[in-house]
Chain A
Amino acid sequence: MSPEARFAAAPIGIVRRALAAVGLSGRGLVIFAPFAWMSLFFLVPLLVVFGISLATKQFGQPPYSDLLTTKDGTVQLTLHLSNYIRVFTDDLYRSAFLSSVRIAGISTVFAILIGYPMAYAIARAPDRWRNILLMLVILPFWTSFLLRVYALSGFLRGEGVINNLLGMFGIGQLTMMQTDFAVYVGIVYSYLPFFILPLYTSLVKLDPSLHEASADLGSRPWQTFLSVTLPLSMPGVIAGAMLVFIPAIGEFVIPSLLGGPGTQMIGRILWDEFFSKTNWPRASALAVTLLVIVVIPIMLMQRAQNAVVEGRR
């Protein structure tokens, strides 16, 4: 050990002995810091949301009723289910949830149809092309999401690029902005890299000899694709599809910038409930309901992702 290193190691030893004295090992400390942070700022907040979803709106600071009150020396717990009753019975919320799932689902299908051939082409490309193509997929991900949605709006707008092009061929204007179609395009455009990357990971490690074997046995290319490639890449498809579907359900930016007043997605409704109507408990109940809806696809994704990772090893 060099003198500097010994010098540097000395305080580490002292700290370690001091921590050991209070029952913390170095190992415990490594786990403790991220554990404490993520529990306090990620898990506990979700419980707080659940708690406040059981309160009612109130004027004052903070603008919701207390769950625990003391009256004559006894602590009373008051829970209101009214927010959930409204969320499940009010047409505005019900249709917002349904259309969020529908819009996210349709967009995911488009992402699969566009992304699968792209991922497959990249996986099949010659080595020196593959890294460049992958970089081209990742590059938009590093530029601002907000600015990309803005760029797309300039493209779809009434006097936008596409309509100018159509005008040159004498075709009349298409109304694309402020429609559900624009929202589909926006979601596919923003989340396509998330679909392509996991699918590429599972496609690139497919053994080419499987294709050869299938071809030797007389399969046509599309038969090989349907009976060999597609089933083997399913974990990648599911993991990628969920990476599009889950964030798309709660999307706020895309429906606000590209959708019309009729595009009522739940992220937007929750935003308005919080910022415009300052109904924090109602917004919380919407958040809890949204969370329950996305838990199933999250579990699906986790399983698929494990399958992708295990396949690599």
Chain B
Amino acid sequence: MTNRSWFLPTTATLGFVFLYAPILSLVVFSFNANRLVTVWSGFSVQAYVDLWNDRQLISAALLSVQIAAVAASIAVVLGTLCAVALVRFRRFRGRTILQAAVSAPLVMPDVITGLALLLLFVAMQSLIGWPPGRGVLTIVIAHATFCTAYVTVVVQSRLGDLDMSLEEAAMDLGANPVRVFFDITLPIIAPALVSGWLLAFTLSLDDLVIASFVSGPGSSTLPMVIFSKIRLGVAPEVNALATIIIGLVALGVVAATILQLRRPKRGAA
């Protein structure tokens, strides 16, 4: 065992350094006085001032947050229904198709999903006149669709672990299935719905490729604006924005982990 006792911790540490060093350097250099970003020349919050004054970035960020919130909410409803159907209803017509339709988006290359949806929207518009052009609505539909797949996976695993005897007891006591779902199942799987919503929100906020295909003039999302800025090289205001986003995410994930670590202890006491 002497061999492995140093090998594993060393490689694991190097792996974590690899994962975190670029992010940390991005955060550090967001406080750099030099616009070259990677050459340190003193502390400054100029990048944050630039970010505050960048109307294009700010308005794109607000638009993206709105799109992500709506898309995530739709995805939570559809994903939960989908998970209930797949976990609780053992056999029904179209089960295989539904299973495929919610697992394929997880690995489908973005360029295919984006192109396919755009072509659908164009074809639908010329056939039935809806959706009227491309913009926020088509981005929301596109995001809700691939996010549904992710929410389904999250809720599915929670439902699969659920003790069915609670639901059966409620049914035996005469509650109808709808009431059982809202009174028993939903409160138990609520944490999965929350993490599903957050996951969907994050994925929507992050999507560049699909949004680029299905957006129209005047509906540039945050990743689209960021991409056009960093394509030309370094952009200090993007560093500042990244630092804010990373800070918020880190806070959220750490808080969620602490909550999760506490729960089993309380249950045992």
Contact = CB atoms under 8 A, between A and B. Distances in A.
B176 interface: yes
Interface in B95-132: 97-98, 101-105, 107-113, 115-117, 119-120, 122-123, 126
Interface-central residue, B89, B111, B223, by most chain A CB under 10 Å: B111
A284 B107 CA distance: 18
Contacts of B254: 135
- Describe B's contact surface by its main secondary structure: helix
A34 B107 contact: no
A132 B116 CA distance: 40
Chain A contact residues: helix, strand, loop or mixed: helix
B17 to A, nearest CB: 11
Given A5-B179, A160-B38, A121 B12 contact: yes
B141 interface: yes
A224 B77 CA distance: 47
**Which has the most chain A C-beta neighbours within 10 Å: B29, B82, B103?**
B82
Interface residues of A, number: 90
B261 interface: yes
A157 B38 contact: yes
Which size bracket describes the interface of B in this complex? 35 or more
A236 to B, nearest CB: 16
B101 A159 contact: no
Interface in B38-65: 38-39
Given A43-B97, A147-B245, A294 B261 contact: no
B242 interface: yes
Contacts of B145: 37-38, 41-42
A88 interface: no
B94 A287 contact: no
A121 to B, nearest CB: 4
Contact of B261 (A26, A131, A256, A298): A131
B181 to A, nearest CB: 9
Given A38-B101, A147-B242, A298-B104, A45 B230 contact: no
19 contacts: A9-B178, A16-B178, A33-B78, A35-B97, A35-B101, A44-B120, A45-B120, A117-B7, A124-B8, A133-B12, A147-B242, A147-B245, A192-B18, A193-B19, A246-B107, A247-B107, A247-B109, A290-B109, A301-B107
